[in-house]
Chains A and B, each alone.
Chain A
Amino acid sequence: MANKISILIVDDEESVRDSLYNWFIEDGYNVDCAENAQKALSILENKNFDIILADIRMPGMDGLEMQRRIKLLNKDSIIIIMTAFSSVDSAVRALKDGAYDYITKPFDPDDLSHLIRNATKQITLKAENEALREKVVSLENIDDVIGNSEAIIKVLKQVETVAQSSSSVIITGESGTGKELIARAIHSNSKRKYFPLVSVHCGALTESLLESELFGHEKGAFTGAMYNRKGRFEMADGGTIFLDEISTISTKMQVELLRVLETKTFVRVGGNKEVASDFRIICATNKDLMKMVKEGTFREDLYYRLNVVNITIPPLRDRIEDIPPLVDYFIRKYCTSMSRSIIPIEPAALKRLEQYDFPGNVRELENMIERAIVVGNQKEIRLKDLPFEKQVMTNTSESLDDLEKAHILQILGKYDWNISRSAKALNVDRLTLYNKIKKYDLKSLKS
């Protein structure tokens, strides 16, 4: 969509025109510039622009007069006025005359980005008609959701349907089934895709930290708070907030969350002003929330507010036909990242994977393939490259170096490549671990 939106920048300062031109080009918009109002009007006589970003003070004709003339040419033009502090009164006059909004120079990058995305959203909504809404939507940006099984197709069909609404969604599934990927797929295929998808892993945060993360804080709220900080709900304005491990939040946070969901407003820590945010909420859990409601550990009212749509991702052992395409995908992913040729997997190894019950689901399979590529012979993935217990027991032909390399890799994987925690688990200092990583040329491929 973004590359279909056209923007005309009108400003007499070359540096402003150049900077904004580069900014919008990088965002994929069609952009043109004019150094004064007369030039802009002349361009607009021959070509329509979706958004016109104009300075209010220019030599010759000012921004206000130009706006009036543009509206005669095209009353639907979205005009955004750029102003200095001293000319805010004029900007307000421009709003009364039909400007979409104004922005004060110099801009906060986030304000500019938000303003243009809001304008884009308005244009998009206007362009849509009922026929378009009913059209079958093909899913985009689902590169990471792999599988052809009936179960995964059913999930993707649900994604396609729920993406079109702003209803709350709970995604359930065992650990490692890819709940966050499904949340991303919903966001990327919704009208909110031009706005952020903000993820919060509730289980990793204490109650007070979660409060500050979700609601943000004001400058001076506590020692060290030198700047205002946006909370996750505020960051998700226009977009989607994804709360992982929702079952772990405290009773107090459940009350807070319910209030935010009901009012779509909140107050930053240390602040007293209500902040509004237009977000969609998607939650994920590997727990049975209904059971928690019955046990009294999860609020029933919050459960029903969150659980408008429920998507359940089946465990990998229930869709073994997805294992071959997943294996192919992970081989391609990791071989490419390691700058190696794509290698095959020997049939015996694939068969063993299809027989395994994968308690850690797709994440476990991914780690197995990554490890097999790192420790293997770089020609193919063999059964002995897979970390099945039986295999390790009989793996006596491997050298001590091979065993050390595999063990270090396993620990690094376990602690998500956190060097301090991995070194502690291995009972060595950080420097030793760094040296081993260098020696065995171990690499983390995840950000």
Chain B
Amino acid sequence: MDTQGILLISHGQFEKEFLENIANDVAREFLLPVSIENSNINLDAFYDSARRQYDGNRLLKHTELASPSPFLIKIGLFRVDLFIPILTYIFGQATLNGNAGIASLYRLKNELYGMEKDNELLVGRFKKVIIHELGHTFGLLHCHTPTCVMRSSTYVEDLDQKSSHFCTKCRDEIERLKSGF
């Protein structure tokens, strides 16, 4: 196992091809090896019946503390609706300069907003959320460049306006930050 790579932890039914597609793009963006692991934890323990959503803070903590891992960064991938107490929902979150993040595709589906199903768009949006959250784990803050993946996005169409790549400034910054690991 690699000691410097990124681990995608799949919670739920993600197709192998889907995960590999995401892993390839994440690897290309961070220039780091990416592995995939399937989790079998029971998400019921993270369900909040009052909010009818899953607790993002506890899931992030769980991902951080997940069995000792040689991976540099771990990110949990979910299909369920995530929240944190102060916000009605989140697409994902990560520990800034930390070793873990989480991302969900639940709120990224076109169908939820009355639009036609679009798997290609869904994968693209999910990749952007994952790369964005991983960017935070490396220490990147939000960027004002309109197409940079580190631009803040608070609704799905906002995600569509940016690319899944870092701008030149963020790319240089991540190379600098990576060299400090």
Contact = CB atoms under 8 A, between A and B. Distances in A.
Interface in A100-142: 105-110, 112-113, 141
Given A16-B85, A108-B88, A235 B157 contact: yes
Interface string B92-129: 01001000000000000001111100001000100010
Contacts of A112: 87, 154
**Candidate in A13, A196, A443, A446 with the most chain B CB atoms within 10 angstroms:** A196
Interface stretch (B7-15, B63-71, B137-145): B137-145
B158 A184 contact: no
Given A188-B145, A230-B155, A19 B84 contact: yes
B152 to A, nearest CB: 6
A184 B87 contact: no
Contacts of A194: 144
Interface string B28-61: 1001000000000000000000000000010000
A337 B28 contact: yes
Contacts of A221: 114
A196 B158 contact: yes
Given A109-B88, A227-B112, A337 B168 contact: no
Given A19-B86, A26-B136, A27-B141, A447 B96 contact: no
A38 B168 CA distance: 45
Contacts of A217: 114
Interface residues of A, number: 52
Contacts of B169: 143
Contact of B155 (A110, A225, A418): A110
A296 interface: no
B164 to A, nearest CB: 4
**Candidate in A16, A105, A197, A447 with the most chain B CB atoms within 10 angstroms:** A447
A127 B3 CA distance: 49
B53 to A, nearest CB: 10
B85 A106 contact: yes
Given A109-B87, A184-B147, A226 B112 contact: yes
Given A16-B86, A26-B141, A109-B89, 9 more contacts: A15-B84, A18-B57, A22-B96, A23-B87, A27-B141, A112-B154, A184-B147, A226-B113, A235-B157
Interface of A: 2-3, 13, 15-16, 18-20, 22-23, 25-28, 105-110, 112-113, 141, 143, 184, 187-188, 193-194, 196-199, 217, 221-222, 224-227, 229-230, 232, 235, 336-339, 418, 443, 446-447
Give the top 4 A-B pairs by smallest Cβ distance, nearest first.
A225-B114, A447-B163, A110-B154, A109-B154
